[in-house]
Amino acid sequence: MQNRFMELVEQSSMKASPPKFEIGDTVDVHVRILEGEKERIQIFNGVVIARSGTKTREMFVVRRIVQGEGVERKFPLHSPRIADIIVKRSGKVRRAKLYYLRGLSGKAVRLKERFPGGKATAAEATAAKAERRAKRSARKADRLAARDAAKLVAATPATTE
Amino acid sequence: MRVGLLGRKVGMTQIYEENGTAIPITVVECGPCTVLQVRTAERDGYHAIQLGFADKKRKSATQAERGHAKKVNAEPKRYVREIRQETPVDVTEGQTLTVEMFADIKRVDVIGTSKGRGFSGVLKRHGFKGLRATHGVKRMHRHPGSSGPSADPAHTRKGIKKPGQFGNTRVTSRNLKIVRVDLTNNLLLVKGAVPGPNGGYVTIQQTNKV
């Protein structure tokens, strides 16, 4: 049951703009660590293999290989201890949970890189982006020109009369 | 004055402290409550304030309920309970009490009606372990086992845990910590669980446990 009051309470302890990342992304998780009096940021780098829960209870699992041994850490997404999550690389995956990576080792663990817009290489992705941008600005220019023309048309009858 | 209010359980969730500790909390919609009556030692033999929470339709209230509420110019209430007081209190009949009362209170007791589970066996009701799954146990896996000695005393002792009605009784959760008081939405956030289903009525009062 989701209720207005619940929403209010949960909103209060959720991050206003939670960091965006997907399953299969290689991320740097910045974790605040208290060492005595001093606060320090520790970075945990790895592949996001699972996300679970909703609202304040949302968690995600990051897996990395340390000295040939698989290490997984589960973080609460909205915890104030998580300072930042930076996406280093996006992986091409077809599942929501990448638990199958646990059974793999060596080269098999690698995930194919995924670029925005479903392009095959980074260069293609940037080219596609530039193209889209150019198209958009062209459309905008067209629109502006059309508007000016319309204005002109609207203004002309007044002058002819 | 022993601070107490009536409310409704909204549900459970978790929030984070600044240092990242997650606290399990129950959200309780708490008040505003109307003081329907003030009980005094002279008239009633004890001190208490009678509170009412959540309006009831007039047509579904009894004539007595309507009359009782009318004395303080209020609508009939769905949930009416008394908060017992040690000494006379400076509360007047008809006054409205809000969650603000809990602003400087640390811990509370929450009274509610637990979820009814019907006629339940000993495993669910008393946490018995049951009998083994194999090794010759025949259709007795969830049985209580023995209920006492045999020839002497030749009867079952009183108070033996048995199957029966489980839940749907008055339950008090004691000494719950108040995490937050939300004055604008009349919400009280207490740490831990509170008896009853979401939407169930509860009485919240300052704890007498030290």
Top mean-pLDDT range of A96-105, B81-90, B162-171: B162-171
Q: Give the model confidence (pLDDT) of B50-75 as tens digits.
A: 999 999 999 999 999 999 999 999 99
Q: Give the full edge-to-edge strand order of the sheet including B77-85.
A: B77-85, B47-55, B33-39, B96-97
Please state, in angstroms and as integers, the Cα–Cα distance from residue A100 to each residue in A103, A110, A111, B171, following that order: 6, 12, 12, 47
Report the C-alpha gap between A151 and A146 in whole angstroms: 9
Contact flag B10-A5 (C-beta cutoff 8 Å): yes
Q: Which amino acid is present at A15? A: K
Residue ranges, chain A, pLDDT below 50:
1
Residue reference for tokens 């509860």: B202
A71 neighbors A63 (Cβ within 8 angstroms): yes
- The CATH code belonging to domain B4-117+172-206 is 2.40.30.10
Q: Give the model confidence (pLDDT) of A127-136 as tens digits.
A: 888 888 889 8
* Residues from chain B contacting residue A81 (CB–CB below 8 Å): 19-20
Could you please report the per-residue DSSP string of B139-208? S-TT-----S-STTT-SPPTT----EEES-SEEEEEEEEEEEEETTTTEEEEES--SS-TT-EEEEEE--
Q: Give the model confidence (pLDDT) of B10-57 as tens digits.
A: 999 999 988 888 999 999 998 799 999 999 999 999 999 999 999 999
Residue of B nearest to A79 (CA): B20
Supply the DSSP symbol for B104. T
Q: Enter the ipTM.
A: 0.72
Q: Is B25 on the interface with A (CB under 8 A)?
A: yes
Q: Is B19 on the interface with A (CB under 8 A)?
A: yes
Q: Using beta carbons and an 8 Å cutoff, which residues of A are at the interface with B?
A: 1, 3, 5-6, 8-10, 12-13, 32, 34, 55-57, 76, 78-81
Angle at B93 between CA B90 and CA B99, to 5 degrees: 70
Q: Is B27 on the interface with A (CB under 8 A)?
A: yes
CA dihedral sign, ordered A90, A93, A96, A102 = negative
Report the C-alpha gap between B4 and B30 in whole angstroms: 10
Contact flag A80-B16 (C-beta cutoff 8 Å): yes
Helix (H, G, I), strand (E, B) or coil at A107: helix
Delimiting residues of CATH 2.40.30.10 domain(s) in chain B: 4-117+172-206
pLDDT interval class at B200 (50, 70, 90): very high
Report the C-alpha gap between A63 and A41 in whole angstroms: 19
Give phi and psi for A105, each to the nearest 5.
-145, 165
Where is A144: in which H helix or E strand?
helix A122-160
Retrieve residue B206's tokens.
Answer: 């300052």
pLDDT interval class at B181 (50, 70, 90): very high
Report the C-alpha gap between A85 and A19 in whole angstroms: 6
Distance of CA B196 to the CA centre of its chain: 7
Higher pLDDT, A122 or B198: B198
pLDDT at A157: 65
